[in-house]
Amino acid sequence: MTTIQNLETPAALIDVERMQRNIKRMQGRMDTLGVRFRPHVKTTKCPAVAQAQMTAGAQGITVSTLKEAEQFFNAGMTDILYAVGMVPSKLSQALALRQRGCALKLIVDNIDAAQALGDFGKAHDATFEVWIEIDSDGHRSGVKPEDNALLEIARALQESGVHFGGVMTHAGSSYDYNTPEDLLSIAEQERKGAVRAADRLRDAGFSCPVVSVGSTPTALSAEHLEGVTEVRAGVYVLFDLVMHNVGVCTLDDIALSVLTTVIGHQEEKGWAIVDAGWMAMSRDRGTQKQQHDFGFGQACTEDGTVLEGYILSGANQEHGILSCTRDIDHDIKQHFPIGTRLRILPNHACATGAQHPQYGALRPDGGIDLWPRFYGW
């Protein structure tokens, strides 16, 4: 049996028990709120994880690349939302998936993309299902609920013969908050924005069956989802230090870590050197702007026990610097001898996962299953 002791380092680990607990928590909330749940699988890009989410009750998946859509479709998942604004150069790739039987949904947030999509569909005798992306918080992309462009885009889609499926939004700004009151407020803002856009479309004579919202913080904070038909969230399945700082998980909920080995010391600086640098952890420093900066990650013992105060304070390509943020009087070399194995909790699970070709899935019995993950666009 493969165990954690057999793995070469650095290696990405998923604590399966924690992962299943996170899945159960989110699915339970969605069931209680009375909406369908469409998880965003970009966090893990892993069929085994997505299948666990589907088994728990998820309906459909969300992806961030058409390559993901292709690979998850090959793995047997057909109801797929490609949640990135569509451009003409990718329509042939999308059409190929539709022609193979994938129930692929596309999104647009501007009239040019809507018209190009319609023209392509006519030229290839193809009908796409398209949703309009709504900007509910000014965080990134989308059309504002009260903007005239909302109705113009819907009209362009209808006139071109496209199947208009509904609206979707993502409250990415929720990552900037850290109190229950603020998270509740941004969740309600997200809900209201999407529902308002849907109401405007219906008042103008358009059918708008789907109202899709979601981010991990808002999904776990919303008190009600009146007018919403589905929710999307992704990082909840593993969680990370950014989500810990936001306040929606504890350190004990974080299911992803990077197994690493102590390879050297800088005793005068109080450093232990490990073989997990930014190529293993990613360069994401998302906690740097939050109330608790974890450097490149929080250190734990090999069995997952948090080492209070010890973080990966620096990183080069293949070297990480382990140091203590507290004034502790001990010999770093004796405390972390050469060969010591540690686990590092990541700032951003999506970014850290992307550094690795597979996950070591740590079962409750101590065994390890190897779960491959996807790459590419």
Q: Give domain limits for the chain.
A: 16-237, 251-372
- pLDDT at 327 (0 to 100): 76
Q: How confident is the model over 22-31, as a mean pLDDT? A: 98
CA distance 359 to 368: 9
Grade residue 330 by pLDDT with cuts at 50, 70 and 90.
confident
Q: Are 369 and 6 in contact (CB under 8 A)?
A: no
Stretch 132-136: mean pLDDT: 97
Calculate ∠ Cα 12-18-20, nearest 5°: 105
Cis peptide preceding 88, ω within 30 of 0: no
Q: Which pLDDT tens digit goes with each residue over 331-371?
A: 899 999 999 999 999 999 999 999 999 999 999 999 999 99
Where does 16-237 sit in CATH, by number?
3.20.20.10
pLDDT at 239: 98
C-alpha separations of 363 from 55, 153, 284, 301, 369 in Å: 18, 48, 28, 17, 8
Categorize the per-residue pLDDT at 329 as very low, low, confident or very high, splitting at 50, 70 and 90.
Answer: low
What are the pLDDT digits (tens) for 83-101?
Answer: 999 999 999 999 999 999 9
Tens digit of each residue's pLDDT (9 = 90 or more) over 288-327? 999 999 999 999 999 999 999 999 999 999 999 999 998 7
Mean pLDDT value across the chain: 96
Whether the predicted pLDDT of 328 surpasses 90 = no
Average pLDDT over residues 63-80: 97
d(CA 299, CA 308): 8
Residue of higher predicted confidence among 328 and 239: 239
pLDDT for position 309: 93
Sheet holding 36-37, edge to edge: 36-37, 230-231, 210-213, 163-169, 129-134, 103-108, 79-85, 61-63
Burial class (CB in 10 A: 0-12, 13-18, 19+), 141: middle
Percentage of the chain modeled with pLDDT above 90: 95
* Rounded alpha-carbon distances, angstroms, from residue 315 to 283, 318, 321, 344: 8, 8, 6, 12
What pLDDT shows up at residue 1? 81
Q: pLDDT tens digit string along 207-254?
A: 999 999 999 999 999 999 999 999 999 999 999 999 999 999 999 999
Predicted confidence (pLDDT) per residue in 260-270, tens digit: 999 999 999 99
pTM: 0.96
Domain 251-372 classification at class level: mainly beta
* Residue 212: count of CB within 10 angstroms of its CB: 29
